[in-house]
Amino acid sequence: MMRLLAFCLVFWLSQTAHAANVEASWTQDFQKEIDWQKLSDAGYLVIGNKDAIFGVDPADGKIVWTLEQFKKMPEDFLEVLDGTQFGAITYKGGVLGFGTTTYLVDLITGTILWDTSTIELGNCSGQFYLPEAGGLLIFGYDKKGKPITKLVDLATGSAFWSADDWYKPGKTPQLFSISTEKKSRLGVMGNQRPLFLEDGSFLELMSVMGLRRINAETGKIIWSCDLKIKGVPAPKAGYAPITLSTDGKTVYVPHDNNVVAVNVADGKVLWNKPEKLRGIAYQMAYTEKGLVVRGGPGGSDPKGKPFIMTLDTKSGEKSWKKPFKDLESASSFVIDGDKIVIYADSEIHQIDIASGDHKELADKIKLGDGEIPHTLELRDNGYLLISSQNLALYDTKGKQVYWTYNRAPQAGMLAKIASTAVILAVNAASVANAYGQANARAAQSASGRGEASYTLITKNPVMSERFAQSESSQNFVYMLADVGPGGQKAGAGVIQVDKVTGANMKSVVLGTKDPVYEVDELGGRLFFKSGKSEITCFKF
């Protein structure tokens, strides 16, 4: 009887199951045509048009602030600071001879806290919020055109320190497109995020200058490691984040088609001859039995081949006698005990970290639309495969628990599908993980400045609620799919899918050929451009 019930459950979920339709919560008319919309990490929506930029309360749709000085501003002039209620607006008409000035704006209230003209910094190329250091690390130029890096108090805009020796002309931080538009402004976001150490110093790798350890109290370079890199190993270029050993004594750095081990104490490379990889490293995980590395073509090695291996953390040599070859069309991997679990070639594989011995947990996996899962996620009840239109859960023995498939709308919308199903989940997790953990450590930071920004953000009632929502939000994905009558174009919408059960929970019919929308995964809201000047909100 139990087997029959399980079979029926799998069969039912493998169809395009109907979800409860969500009614609109509110609609707001901005009078002029909307040029863009962007979601802040506080859950407030920012709208830009010819008249101004506006802040919208997600609960009732009321316009709570208006900044007319930023009228006609392109979307890429606003960068949301992850894990905070703030945004950095880099806008034209700078003072002191600069082409642009950067303003720090509270996206809940619309208050401009400060701008970079007060610290004689302009033409800024971006910033990282560093909770452990108690401030904002900003990259820009002084009045003479020299590259400058400053750590700035998040609350007041005063500079804790200024460094003019981090970069040389032509060797400044790598820049990446801020938006998906063809003529996007460029910025530093997309580089390796500064990695903090227990003593309050941090590791920086954003240029061909190599890896440096920085004193967070003074901005002085403690040591510099010239890795002789061809291309900057940035996550936005496909590279894995730099990874610390559990004791914090060694950092593992991907670059080109290598991974190197660097001594955190003095910056010396520890491996005599790093293993040449078949491509660049996409993903790394430090374990007591070795450094697990998955990679393939990309970055400075566009002709690379897909691979997964374990490197000896002491020597850098390959740990496995035989390479694992079945890696075409692979997902990300997870570590489960002493095993690597990964999807590849229509199978879920379990690989011993130390020896490379492996077995197939599940085979002949077929997903709707012939999709290949981009992510394998470790859940309490098994291994979850995620693609744009599919969720498939397998228990730890390899038996399918459920399979959910929602048919895609027309092919032209596939880019938006990826954005909704993949990136939003990653963003939600980053609030809870990277920045949530950093904020939690900030009050005890060795720099002594972490408490101010910790209080400014986590004591804000809106942000406190957001952090509380972050864990439960990770139980859902949102798929752009064919959800209503009228064919694939008219029936396009978004479905909320439960990762635990695989059930389609709720859906919103958008009903346009090319819907423009934002999904707030933490708050469970969808903001849809329902007319040229209108935004309609749906609460899941």
- 62 inside domain: no
User: CB under 8 Å to 479, separation ≥6 — which residues?
Assistant: 388, 389, 406, 417, 420, 421, 494, 495, 497
Q: pLDDT tier at 459 (50, 70, 90 boundaries)?
A: confident
The answer on pLDDT for 120 being more than 70 is yes
- 109 inside domain: no
Report the percent of the chain where pLDDT is more than 70: 86
Amino acid code (one letter) for 302: P
Q: Give 25's DSSP letter.
A: E
Q: Rounded to whole angstroms, what are the CA distances from 318 to 134, 289, 330, 333, 355?
A: 40, 12, 20, 18, 10
The predicted-structure confidence for 145-159, as pLDDT tens digits, reads as follows: 899 999 999 989 999
Q: pLDDT tier at 483 (50, 70, 90 boundaries)?
A: confident
- 422 inside domain: yes
The answer on pLDDT for 257 being more than 80 is yes
Identify the bridge partners of residue 331 per DSSP, sorted by sequence position.
Answer: none
CA-nearest of 18, 21, 11, 66 to 508 is 21
Cβ contact 491:409 at 8 Å: yes
- 213 inside domain: no
The answer on pLDDT for 368 being more than 70 is yes
- 93 inside domain: no
Tokens of 377: 């996620």
Helix (H) or strand (E) holding 68: none
**pLDDT of 323:** 86
Q: pLDDT tier at 441 (50, 70, 90 boundaries)?
A: low
Cβ contact 493:485 at 8 Å: no
Amino acid code (one letter) for 379: R
The answer on pLDDT for 418 being more than 70 is no
SS3 content of the chain, % helix, strand, coil (to 5): 15, 40, 45
Amino acid code (one letter) for 367: L
- 231 inside domain: no
- 102 inside domain: no
Q: What is the mean pLDDT of residues 492-497?
A: 94
Identify the bridge partners of residue 97 per DSSP, sorted by sequence position.
Answer: none
The answer on pLDDT for 111 being more than 90 is yes
Domain that holds residue 499: 17-38+408-540
Question: d(Cα 422, Cα 405) in Å, to the nearest integer?
Answer: 15
The residue written with tokens 């032509």 in the block is 170
Burial 174-195 (b: 16+ CB within 10 A, else e): bbbbbbeeeeebebbbbbbbbb
Tokens of 248: 């914090």
> Could you give the 3-state DSSP secondary structure of residue 235?
helix
**pLDDT of 424:** 35
The residue written with tokens 């993949």 in the block is 422
| Range among 290-294, 325-329, 472-476 with highest mean pLDDT value | 290-294
User: How many structural domains comprise the chain?
Assistant: 1
User: CB under 8 Å to 336, separation ≥6 — which residues?
Assistant: 350, 378, 396
Stated pTM of the model: 0.89
- 539 inside domain: yes
Cβ contact 88:73 at 8 Å: no
The answer on pLDDT for 488 being more than 50 is no
Question: d(Cα 229, Cα 241) in Å, to the nearest integer?
Answer: 16
**pLDDT of 346:** 94
